[in-house]
Amino acid sequence: MAANGEAQTYNEVTRFGPNPPHGPDISGGHPPFEDPHIDMTSNEKEIFKYLLKPDDLYNEDGVYWADLPIMKRVKFVNKVNRQESRREFAAFWQMFKNDPLAPVGFYFRNMVLPGAGLGLEGYVLFSIGNVKPLFQKAFPDCWKSNKICDKTWINAVDYLEICGIIVGQILVGFIGDWIGRRWGLIQDATIMFLGLIMLVAGWGVTQNGWVICYAWSLFFYGIGVGGEYPMTATSGMENAVGSGKVSTREDRLHRGRKVVSAFLMQGWGQFFNQVILILLLLCFHHGSGNAPYSKVAAQWTYRVSFAIPAVGTAWLIYFRTFKVKASANRQLRLAKKKGGVTGYDVESLKMTFYYFGGRIIATAGTWYMNDVFFYGNKLFQSEFISVIMPGGTSIMPGWLYNLINVGVSLCGYYLASFLVDNKLYGRKHMQSLGFLMDFVFFIIPGTQLKYYTSPAHIKEFQAMYFLSSFFQQFGPNCVTFLAAAEVYPVAVRATAHGFSAAVGKLGALTAAVGYSYWSTQTKFWIVPWFGMAGVILNVLFMPDTTGLDLKEQERRWAYIRAGREKDYHGIAIHPKHLSLWERLRGVSKPYDAELDYKQRIEEMRGEWEERMQERIGEKEKNLEDVIHDDDDFDDNVSSYFKRSTKSPNLRGMENEKIPPAEGLSNPNGI
Give the Cα separation of 453 and 382 in Å (integer): 11
Q: Is the pLDDT of residue 629 over 60?
A: no
Q: Is 586 left (phi over 0), alpha (psi -120 to 50) or beta?
A: left
Q: Is the pLDDT of residue 483 over 70?
A: yes
The pLDDT, as a whole number, for residue 458 is 85
Give the Cα separation of 192 and 160 in Å (integer): 15
Q: Strand, coil or helix: what is 290?
A: coil
| Cis amide linkage into residue 32, ω under 30° from 0 | yes
Q: 522-545, pLDDT tens digit by residue?
A: 888 898 999 999 999 999 999 999
Candidate from 30-44, 92-106, 283-297, 609-623 with smallest mean pLDDT = 30-44
Residues in the chain: 670
Give the Cα separation of 498 and 176 in Å (integer): 10
CA 451 to chain centre: 41
Q: 541-591, pLDDT tens digit by residue?
A: 999 999 898 889 999 999 999 999 999 999 999 999 999 999 999 999 999
Q: Is the pLDDT of residue 185 over 60?
A: yes
> Above pLDDT 90, what percent of the chain?
52
pTM of the predicted structure, to 2 decimals: 0.83
Q: Is the pLDDT of residue 116 over 70?
A: yes
Between these two residues, 520 and 460, which has the higher pLDDT value? 460
Compute φ and ψ for 436, nearest 5 degrees.
-65, -45
The pLDDT, as a whole number, for residue 640 is 38
DSSP states along 47-97? HHHHHHS-TTTB-TT--BGGGS-HHHHHHHHHHHHHHHHHHHHHHHHHHHH
Q: Is the pLDDT of residue 647 over 50?
A: no
DSSP states along 32-57? TT--TT----HHHHHHHHHHHS-TTT
533, 180 Cβ separation under 8 angstroms:
no
As a whole number, mean pLDDT of residues 355-374 equals: 94
Place 252 in a pLDDT band, splitting at 50, 70 and 90.
confident
The pLDDT, as a whole number, for residue 269 is 94
As a whole number, mean pLDDT of residues 467-496 equals: 93
The pLDDT, as a whole number, for residue 454 is 85
As a whole number, mean pLDDT of residues 626-653 equals: 43
Q: Is the pLDDT of residue 457 over 50?
A: yes
587, 566 Cβ separation under 8 angstroms:
no
Q: 43-68, pLDDT tens digit by residue?
A: 667 777 778 899 999 999 999 999 99
As a whole number, mean pLDDT of residues 273-296 equals: 88
Place 504 in a pLDDT band, splitting at 50, 70 and 90.
very high
Between these two residues, 411 and 291, which has the higher pLDDT value? 411
Place 40 in a pLDDT band, splitting at 50, 70 and 90.
low
Between these two residues, 629 and 124, which has the higher pLDDT value? 124
The pLDDT, as a whole number, for residue 168 is 93
Place 243 in a pLDDT band, splitting at 50, 70 and 90.
very low
Domain boundaries, the chain: 4-99, 117-541, 550-584, 593-655
Compute φ and ψ for 58, nearest 5 degrees.
-125, 145
The pLDDT, as a whole number, for residue 41 is 59
98, 91 Cβ separation under 8 angstroms:
no
Domain 117-541: assigned CATH number: 1.20.1250.20
Burial of residue 6 (CB within 10 Å: 0-12, 13-18, 19+) is middle
The pLDDT, as a whole number, for residue 664 is 32
Question: How far, in Å, are 1, 88, 138, 291 from residue 97 at the CA level?
Answer: 16, 14, 53, 52
The pLDDT, as a whole number, for residue 414 is 96
The pLDDT, as a whole number, for residue 606 is 83
Q: 192-234, pLDDT tens digit by residue?
A: 999 999 999 988 889 999 999 999 999 999 999 999 999 988 8
Instruction: Among 56-65, 230-239, 447-456, name the most confident range.
Output: 56-65
The distance in angstroms from the start CA to the end CA of the chain is: 31
Give the Cα separation of 42 and 241 in Å (integer): 29
Give the Cα separation of 239 and 331 in Å (integer): 9
Between these two residues, 38 and 497, which has the higher pLDDT value? 497
Candidate from 154-168, 244-258, 365-379, 440-454 with smallest mean pLDDT = 244-258
Q: 79-96, pLDDT tens digit by residue?
A: 999 999 999 999 999 999
Task: Return the number of other C-beta atoms located less than 10 Å from residue 563's C-beta.
Answer: 9
As a whole number, mean pLDDT of residues 249-270 equals: 91
249, 2 Cβ separation under 8 angstroms:
yes
Give the Cα separation of 225 and 215 in Å (integer): 15
